[in-house]
Amino acid sequence: MINVINFINFLKNQGIDYYTGVPDSLMKNFCDYINSNKEINNIVNHNEGGAIAFAAGNYLTNKKPCLVYLQNSGQGNCINPLISLTHPKVYSIPMLLLIGWRGEPEIKDEPQHMKQGEITEELLQLCDIPFEILDIENWKSQIEKANNFMIENKSPFAILVKKNTFEKTNIVKKENNFNLVRENVLKKIIQNTNDDQIIFSTTGKISREIYEVRKELNKESDLDFYNVGAMGHVSQIALGASFKTNKKILCIDGDGSLIMHMGTLATIGSYQPNNFVHILINNEAHESVGGQKTASSEINFLEIAKGCNYKYIKSIINEQELDDFLKNSELKYPAFIEIKVKLMSRDNLKRPEDTTLERKEKFLNKLENAN
């Protein structure tokens, strides 16, 4: 495996010392290191397209390419700036893309990663971006090749990263100052829901915990929709559903996910769905992929939701506030509830056993029979 510190030092010698991106589970060791080392210039971006644009601006002021890190799920977010900003036919701006390759062909992975993994190389080719698959023996010559290409052609080059490429580093366990435990919070929420409510939950461990909690409580529901991929889009899925049903909609979001496409708050606020409860579980981090920080500690989500015309705003930081909220039936809609939680999860968390297609069918049938 590749030692992250050697990798970073080598990049520095090649003139690449500015990082931006969205963390990826498969490159956890790399992301952890750049996230925790204060000497490294690292901008954790709200989404991968933002990171491409940031890298472009950075280049314009110092003529040095940035390294943009991302999971291949984020390629979609990048396409627009890669084609209409950094492409050689537009402004021709070099940057090194370091892309975690989930769903690599022949390797078992989750359903949301399979198609993306299959087309990862093709998408790069379509964008005219040459690439290498990072090799633990020859990585130095690959970086040199990438750098020479960027110097000569003034355009992006990509490196694809397979599972188990980077060695673990000695990173101190990350923490925040909150006391509530996310899984317990979700348990209380589930205990207080019935078949009159539909839950739409976000990408990562939040959905996995809801699934586990339901099993534990023997309260499984076909009216849960787990947005396993399409990070940041859960609230628009929920909004789309809210207009077609009288049931109460609970959208359970994460701070990294919400920040990724935060314009969603404006759309929800301006259309005033009268059955919509937006619950933000805020641990100030991308906990599901290793706990790298988000911008949340600097953000007042409650003020933003209020400014976007949500009609009921609440902050919850302890058990009492959570219990009071769950007992309260006097909500106004759309409602926005922020629950601040510890940065932690269980190691032995499972994933839903049925396939995404099976879950969708169950959801449709259940709703059809309920209406």
Ligand X SMILES: Cc1ncc(C[n+]2csc(CCOP(=O)(O)OP(=O)(O)O)c2C)c(N)n1
Binding interface with ligand X (CB under 6 A) = 22-24, 71, 73-74, 77, 202-206, 231, 254-257, 283, 285-289, 294
Q: How far is the CB of 12 from ligand X (least distance, A)?
A: 25
Contact predicate 48/22, CB 8 Å? yes
Mapping DSSP to helix (H, G, I), strand (E, B) and coil, where does residue 180 land?
strand
The pair of three-digit structure tokens given for residue 211, joined into one six-digit string? 């699934």
Residue among 55 and 143 whose Cβ is closer to ligand X: 55
Q: Please tell me the distance from the alpha carbon of residue 321 to that of residue 175, in angstroms, as a whole number.
A: 22
Q: How far is the CB of 116 from ligand X (least distance, A)?
A: 9
Q: For residue 334, is the peptide bond before it cis, meaning its omega torsion is within 30 degrees of 0?
A: yes
Q: How far is the CB of 358 from ligand X (least distance, A)?
A: 21
The pair of three-digit structure tokens given for residue 200, joined into one six-digit string? 């739409």
Instruction: Name the closest residue to ligand X (Cβ).
Output: 254
Q: How far is the CB of 286 from ligand X (least distance, A)?
A: 4
**C-alpha radius of gyration, the chain, whole number:** 21
Residue among 188 and 311 whose Cβ is closer to ligand X: 188
Counting Cα atoms < 13 Å in the Cβ hemisphere of 353 gives 4
Contact predicate 76/22, CB 8 Å? no
Q: How far is the CB of 238 from ligand X (least distance, A)?
A: 15
Sequence-separated (6 or more) residues with CB below 8 Å from residue 181: 341, 342, 344
Residue among 81 and 204 whose Cβ is closer to ligand X: 204
Q: How far is the CB of 203 from ligand X (least distance, A)?
A: 5
Q: How far is the CB of 60 from ligand X (least distance, A)?
A: 25
Residue among 76 and 130 whose Cβ is closer to ligand X: 76
Mapping DSSP to helix (H, G, I), strand (E, B) and coil, where does residue 162 land?
coil
Residue among 12 and 351 whose Cβ is closer to ligand X: 351
Rounded (10°) angle between helices 111-126 and 75-84: 10
Sequence-separated (6 or more) residues with CB below 8 Å from residue 55: 18, 20, 65, 66, 68, 86, 93, 95
Q: How far is the CB of 109 from ligand X (least distance, A)?
A: 12
Residue among 48 and 310 whose Cβ is closer to ligand X: 48
142-146 long-range Cβ contacts below 8 angstroms, 24+ apart: 143/10, 143/11, 143/14, 144/14, 146/96
Residue among 82 and 143 whose Cβ is closer to ligand X: 82
Residue among 242 and 288 whose Cβ is closer to ligand X: 288
Q: How far is the CB of 300 from ligand X (least distance, A)?
A: 17
DSSP letter at 25? S
Apex 24 CA angle, 255 and 123, nearest 5: 110
Q: Please tell me the distance from the alpha carbon of residue 270 to that of residue 263, in angstroms, as a whole number.
A: 11
Residue among 255 and 338 whose Cβ is closer to ligand X: 255
Q: Please tell me the distance from the alpha carbon of residue 70 to that of residue 47, in angstroms, as a whole number.
A: 9
